[in-house]
């Protein structure tokens, strides 16, 4: 019996030595996890997580064309009918082409409208969403309007993920720090403000473009922060 126990102990010791001898370099056994995971975790711990997405080299500009020259919806755009009637007067600030108007009252949020059939207009509220609204207009439609000399994008996407939509009327206050500034874009968080200089609060002399966002948490005076513009959307007329 004593010889059997001695022999068994010798075999176990030999197996243990063999196992230690053939461990992978660095002492990580197969039970520690899939190969490479430990190395990846070690590398990741030395990389700082960015506060916001990487800024593009230049602001990307996109023109969507939801209505044809014949006043019909472009392929891929759906139409919803609105009740009531509107007045269309003046050019849309976001159109790169002539013949695109703005219709009122501003509560309808009709930022860009095209003349259509049966005394109706087809209008866009948000250039990022392929939906049109059809509404009846009173009086004459200003089809001869020209594109504005300084076009305001209808939508802005900032590099921190904040989305902004161009202002469509309404009464806005001004930051206490800059009582002469006006609001140009309403964002998911805050609003874009700037001087009353017809440039819509956008600094285009730099790439990517920059805007100043006024945030007023808890009703306080808030702060004004500079943000970069990742993408800007305009509207135009389809062929």
Span 156-188, pLDDT tens digits: 999 999 999 999 888 899 999 899 999 999 999
Q: How many domains does the chain have?
A: 2
Contacts 24+ apart (CB under 8 A), 42-45: none
Interatomic CA distance for residues 226 and 239, integer angstroms: 38
Last residue of a domain, one of 138, 167, 199: 138
Domain hosting 87: range is 64-138
Residues 127 and 183 in one domain: no
CA separation for the pair 224, 219 (Å, rounded): 14
SS3 165: strand
Q: Please state, in angstroms and rounded to a whole number, the distance separating the CA atoms of residues 107 and 27.
A: 69
pLDDT bin (cut points 50, 70, 90) of residue 54 is low
- The values of phi and psi at residue 232, to 5°, are -135, 135
pLDDT value of residue 218: 57
Q: Do residues 218 and 172 both lie within one domain? A: yes
Q: Taking the model in full, what pTM does it have? A: 0.74
> Considering the domain boundaries, does residue 94 fall inside one?
yes
Q: Please indicate, yes or no, whether residues 127 and 162 belong to a single structural domain of this protein.
A: no
Q: Do 73 and 115 belong together in one domain?
A: yes
Q: Beta strands 182-187 and 163-166: pairing type?
A: antiparallel
Q: Is 95 a domain residue?
A: yes
* 38 part of a folded domain: no
């Amino acid at each position: 019996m004593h010889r059997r126990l001695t022999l068994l102990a010798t075999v176990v010791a030999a197996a243990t030595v063999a196992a230690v001898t053939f461990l992978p370099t660095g002492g990580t056994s197969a039970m520690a996890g899939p190969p490479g995971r430990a190395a990846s975790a070690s590398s990741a711990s030395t990389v700082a997580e960015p506060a916001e997405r990487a800024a593009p080299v230049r602001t990307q500009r996109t023109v969507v064309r939801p209505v044809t020259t014949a006043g019909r919806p472009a392929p891929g755009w759906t139409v919803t009918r609105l009740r009531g009637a509107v007045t269309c007067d003046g050019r849309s600030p976001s159109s790169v082409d002539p013949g695109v108007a703005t219709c009122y009252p501003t509560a309808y949020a009709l930022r860009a409208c095209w003349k259509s059939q049966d005394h109706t207009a087809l209008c866009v509220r948000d250039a990022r969403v392929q939906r049109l609204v059809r509404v009846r207009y009173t009086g004459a439609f200003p089809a001869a309007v020209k594109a504005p000399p300084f076009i305001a994008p209808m939508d802005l996407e900032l590099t921190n993920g904040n989305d902004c939509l161009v202002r469509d009327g309404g009464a806005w206050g001004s930051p206490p720090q800059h009582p002469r500034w006006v609001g140009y874009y309403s964002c998911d968080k805050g609003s874009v403000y700037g001087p009353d200089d017809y440039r819509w609060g956008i600094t285009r002399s730099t790439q990517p473009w920059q805007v100043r966002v006024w945030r007023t948490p808890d009703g306080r005076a808030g702060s004004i922060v500079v943000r970069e513009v990742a993408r800007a959307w305009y509207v135009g007329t389809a062929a």
